[in-house]
Structure 1
Amino acid sequence: MTEKKKLQEIDLYKPIQRYFVKEGYEVYGEVNDCDLAAVKEDELVVVELKLNLSVDLLVQATKRQRLTDSVYIAVPKPKYKLRSKKWTDLCHLVRRLELGLIIVSFSGNRKNVEVIFEPTPFERKKSRNNRKRNRVLKEISGRSADYNIGGSSRTKIITAYKENCIQIACYLQRYGDLSPKALRELGTGNKTSSILTKNYYGWFERVQRGVYTISEKGKKELNENSEELLSYYKEMVKEKEIHTK
């Protein structure tokens, strides 16, 4: 049984060379640090070859944009699906850098070249997702302060929703059984009824129609959350009591 030959960057050159020759270009390898350079009349195309779509490849390709706007990166066809989120995100990054993307697939002796997209100007405004942007701004507006450490992956995140739950739990713990209306008057916001009804964390119990209390689970887990956040709402409670006297 013959051992399968390990793929090298030079294996990408010939199929891409043939592709551009068919498109009417004159093609040359290793020209002033460019892996492949192709010319047709006044047009210059540069292709950088790598076995993986990496940061090094992107840096190398963007340097070639000093020579021409027509810069491609070329990699072997990845083993994972081209419809995957990973591939979609990588393509978005390449497009954003205004680079073209070529993949080469190897099947036996056959080598197929596919231009995924051409190098074209990236229109940032059109790519902006206003719905997701508004979600970020809404989340920020729902938080009283910054209680999370950026980059955390294995710690509990205090979202605007959870902060609202903590606020309601603090007030129920302080004042006892309350209705959603009474809680809203204390400043817990328009989502109060929904939070109490859905009871996502299991912190609340309905003691009678339209009246809620904090559950034993709520009392226990309330103290396991951000001390800074608990102190903030406990201080708010004190201030409200002072102003109502």
Structure 2
Amino acid sequence: MPGQDFCEADLYAPVRDHFVTLGFDVKGEVRNCDVVAVKDDILVSVELKKTFGLKLVYQGLDKQASSDLVYLAIPAVLKKGRGKRSPVEDIKRLCRRTGLGLLEVYGQTVQVLCEAEPTHARPTSARRKRILKEFRARSGDHNIGGTTGVKRVTAFIENSVLLAMLAREDGSVTPAKGREAGVDVLCHPVTQSSRLVQQTCPW
């Protein structure tokens, strides 16, 4: 069982490594998802919690509308003594009924207690598209899933920093230079509301 200083963010690294081992690209804190794992056309969402409860189940059910598979990750549950019923069995039964997967984390080890069932989420779902767009636009995994009260490194922030670095070179950013860096200069709010864009330069 986790100690008093244990937090949801402590679950992130082992869960991330678990899916990386399975061949997924993983990033934390993507569009209100604690963990997002993508492999080919498969989108997996994982919700992290210190304890199992209905709030966690509701969060998992909500993610089923935009993800192909949804898992709940919790610390290892203390087993009951002989002759006493373990809460793990009740948790697994509930997960199976709702199609949610269940991951148990002990230290750096992740055990799959219940596999997630395919949600048949619509590929054209607006929420799904937003998650994938944000996921693919990020240059790497710069956030720890399960954290609260901290600023996120989003694709927007990454592009804003990149534009500032490009503008620092000569005081402006041409659309051509932005495209070379992978940023649509004319559509970025920072350049739309400033004089960073040098539109008189060749395209």
TM range (shorter): 0.5 to 0.7
Show structure 1 runs of 4+ deviating over 4 A: none
How many residue pairs match? The answer is 115
Greater Cα radius of gyration, structure 1 or 2: 1
Please give the residue correspondences for 1:199-210 in structure 2 after superposition, counting only pairs within 5 Å.
none
Unaligned runs of 5+ in 2: 120-203
Counterpart CA distance in 2 for 1:69 and 1:88 is 24
TM-score, with structure 1 as normaliser: 0.44
CA displacement 1:178-214 (0-9 Å, x = unmatched): xxxxxxxxxxxxxxxxxxxxxxxxxxxxxxxxxxxxx
| Aligned-partner SS, 2:113 | strand
Match of 2:49 in 1: 50
Please give the residue correspondences for 1:12-161 in structure 2 after superposition, counting only pairs within 5 Å.
12-81=11-80, 84-106=85-107, 111-120=108-117
8 Å Cα contact 2:79/2:86 also seen in 1: no
**Equivalent position amino acid for 2:99 in 1:** E
| Aligned-partner SS, 1:35 | strand
Counterpart CA distance in 1 for 2:113 and 2:88 is 12
Give the CA RMSD over aligned residues. 2.1
The Cα shift of 1:69 comes to 3.2
Counterpart CA distance in 2 for 1:92 and 1:61 is 15
| Aligned-partner SS, 1:101 | strand
Unaligned runs of 5+ in 1: 123-245
Counterpart CA distance in 2 for 1:36 and 1:71 is 10
TM-score, with structure 2 as normaliser: 0.53
More relative contact order, 1 or 2 (CA 8 Å, 6+ apart): 2
Match of 2:124 in 1: none
The Cα shift of 1:41 comes to 0.6
CA displacement 1:141-189 (0-9 Å, x = unmatched): xxxxxxxxxxxxxxxxxxxxxxxxxxxxxxxxxxxxxxxxxxxxxxxxx
The Cα shift of 1:85 comes to 4.3
8 Å Cα contact 2:95/2:114 also seen in 1: no
| Aligned-partner SS, 2:62 | helix
**Equivalent position amino acid for 1:87 in 2:** V
